[in-house]
A and B are shown apart, each in its own frame.
Chain A
Amino acid sequence: MTPLIEVEDLRISFPTAKGSFDAVRGVSFTLGREKLGIVGESGSGKSLTGRALMRLLTPAAQLSAKRLAFDGQDLLQATPRDLRRIRGRRISLVLQDPKYALNPVMTVGEQIGEAFRTHHRVSRAEARAKTLAMLEAVRIRNPVRVHDLYPHEVSGGMGQRIMIAMMLIPEPDLLIADEPTSALDVTVQMQVLAILDDLVTQRGMGLIFISHDLNLVASFCDRILVMYAGRIVEECRASELHAATHPYTRGLLASLPRIEESRAELAVLTRDPAWLTA
């Protein structure tokens, strides 16, 4: 069975005044219908990797790879038309902050309906029905009322659920979630994640969950990739995280406080400059 995603030696660089900056330096992995977490700090290149899979980088970015394929289809050679058919319909992207990621002058219902009608020829009434059904699926209690609200009129948690609804309505095979809960309160985070988990499992989708929160990713995903300075430094199953080998991962694990322990001081992560060139 073809893996959903095949990435081999992905490289992304940006031209700067002082030469080329390599943001992603040779990332390779495959993904099946599973939940993959990509963890890293700011600047590790995790978000760029996620967006590169949908070819959504800014024009300034230079992207190259030995292989970049979705369900067997080569994404590097794909025409803009091909890409538009894939985006939304086969792969979807959920961004971090619904306040900015939704169009402020369109109602949320309109935006969700648009996501569906872009890929399916249906009437407005049908799209509206589908939208309301989707809003219910993300556990929004009053879909009819919410349908006509504007993005600034909904809370953060509801906004993220709307984003999820919008991105899942065309029934894609893969969802990339780029820090989907980082802008939310902790209590709301759990709710949104539960909904995400449910939907992804129900539909048998693949999920790439990008985050800086190692704990969160470990509890949620099947497999984990740890990125540092544009490279993958660790790849393991979530259940085997405690057995991680790379010093960076070990450092991250050590600096997380645990409620049952009695350390007097938290460990500070020491970065080995060798990791930058390894």
Chain B
Amino acid sequence: MIALPGLRAAREAAQLSVQLGITLLGLLAVTFFIGRVVPIDPVLAVVGDQAPRDVYEAVRIELGLDRPVWVQFGLYVQKILSGDFGTSLVTNRAVAEDIIRVFPATLELATLATFIGVLLGVPMGIAGAVWQDRWPDQLVRVLGLVGYSVPIFWLGIIGLLVFYGILGWVAGPGRLGVFFEDVVPTITGVILIDAAIAGEWEVFWNAVSHVVLPSAVLGYFSVAYIARMTRSFMLDQLAQEYVVTARAKGLSEARIIWVHALRNVAVPLITVVALSYARLLEGAVLTETVFAWPGLGRYLTTALLAADMNAVLGSTIVVGAVFVGLNMISDVLYRLMDPRAR
């Protein structure tokens, strides 16, 4: 059978989708299970503990708790897929609504941090590999070590102390100064973009002064990770035979590094960047608490402390789904970029 390129791509896409589906289903199974572990009786949470028996029974049937577990799971999956994450105890709104409202703030941080990570991390990693064992390399290694050891929330606090408290270079916690709230109409949910669209430059710069420190703190972790991986990949490439060939052709070192080696480094590096983005979502939870940043992380922790299970599980599913999605995207990108994998 002749394998047409289009057919093969379609088959691979189908395989990936099935894998994605199974993983997401598993994710839902885990959250479903966690929801069941809660020692609180969900019926009591709705009716209160003074309710008469028939009311209790009615609500129990309504919540589907009399059906066998797998039916309950099926109903749960159905609900989630239709976008119904339940209602939040804290905000009294649909969890899905809440998440749509707060997620852009987290995306803003994670995206800016990844930007910083790539812009600074890749050149640093290259420098570390090219000047191996000299000071750029030592710097990359130290940064990496610190990045793996320092608690992100503590770094954020120190950052606030130094850059806000002592030096006064940036604004304090929060996303926007109180005076500027609700001045700019919400289009994307990202204040920087919305303010630029509306032409409100005072709001824009205020937002910038607020986002600098939290994205820098998150960005540090991104830089440490990306620099370390870039260095490792670059060292691998510079030891390959094709580099000898390239030198034998008379190419300059610069061209060898930036054209030949980097193109090979880019392939696994894309995966690293996607992974870094996913890990930043995790770091955002703690960073948002430190900087009172109104994103998904803070929403999650507030829900946690109030035992708002719908909100907690809803947020977990979203983060988990994004994580899985990013992994899958990086897989696909890898295949597209490496001619050997096509």
Complex contact flag A–B (Cβ < 8 Å):
yes
Q: Which residues of A contact B (CB under 8 A)?
A: 51, 54, 56, 84-89, 92-93, 95, 97, 100-106, 114-115, 118-119, 150, 152, 163, 166-167, 170
A114 and B245 contact, CB distance less than 8 A: no
**Closest CB-CB distance, B270 to chain A, in whole Å?**
13
B338 and A88 contact, CB distance less than 8 A: no
Closest to A55 in B: B247
Bound-state CA distance A97–B245 (Å) is 11
Query: Quick check: is B143 within 8 A (CB to CB) of the other chain?
Result: no
Chain B residues, Cβ within 8 Å of A152: 339-340
From B241, B249, B264, A100 is in contact (CB under 8 Å) with: B241
B241 and A104 contact, CB distance less than 8 A: no
A103 and B242 contact, CB distance less than 8 A: yes
A103 and B250 contact, CB distance less than 8 A: no
Chain A residues, Cβ within 8 Å of B250: 84-89, 118-119, 170
Within 8 A of A (CB), among B293-342: 337-340
**Closest CB-CB distance, B251 to chain A, in whole Å?**
6
Closest to B132 in A: A59
Bound-state CA distance A56–B241 (Å) is 12
Chain A residues, Cβ within 8 Å of B245: 93, 95, 101-103, 163, 166
Closest to B253 in A: A80
B339 and A115 contact, CB distance less than 8 A: no
A93 and B260 contact, CB distance less than 8 A: no
Bound-state CA distance A195–B241 (Å) is 23
Q: Report how many residues on chain B are interfacial, defined by Cβ distance under 8 Å.
A: 20
**Closest CB-CB distance, B57 to chain A, in whole Å?**
66
Most buried by B among A89, A101, A103: A103
Bound-state CA distance A54–B248 (Å) is 7
B241 and A95 contact, CB distance less than 8 A: yes
Query: Quick check: is B267 within 8 A (CB to CB) of the other chain?
Result: yes
A88 and B249 contact, CB distance less than 8 A: yes
**Closest CB-CB distance, B152 to chain A, in whole Å?**
35
Q: Taking A84-B252, A106-B260, A150-B340 as contacts, is the C-beta distance between A101 and B247 under 8 angstroms? A: no
Q: Taking A105-B264, A106-B260 as contacts, is the C-beta distance between A100 and B248 under 8 angstroms? A: no
**Closest CB-CB distance, B249 to chain A, in whole Å?**
4
12 pairs, A vs B, C-beta closer than 8 Å: A56-B247, A87-B250, A89-B250, A95-B241, A100-B240, A100-B241, A101-B242, A101-B245, A104-B242, A104-B264, A106-B260, A166-B245
**A-contact 0/1 string along B235-257, CB 8 Å cutoff:** 00000111011111111100000
Chain A residues, Cβ within 8 Å of B339: 104-105, 150, 152
B242 and A87 contact, CB distance less than 8 A: no
Bound-state CA distance A87–B252 (Å) is 11
**Closest CB-CB distance, A205 to chain B, in whole Å?**
15
A56 and B340 contact, CB distance less than 8 A: no
**A-contact 0/1 string along B257-293, CB 8 Å cutoff:** 0001001100100000000000000000000000000
Bound-state CA distance A54–B244 (Å) is 11
**Closest CB-CB distance, B261 to chain A, in whole Å?**
9
Bound-state CA distance A152–B338 (Å) is 11
4 new A-B contacts at CB < 8 Å, known A101-B244, A104-B340, A106-B260:
A56-B247, A93-B244, A118-B249, A167-B248
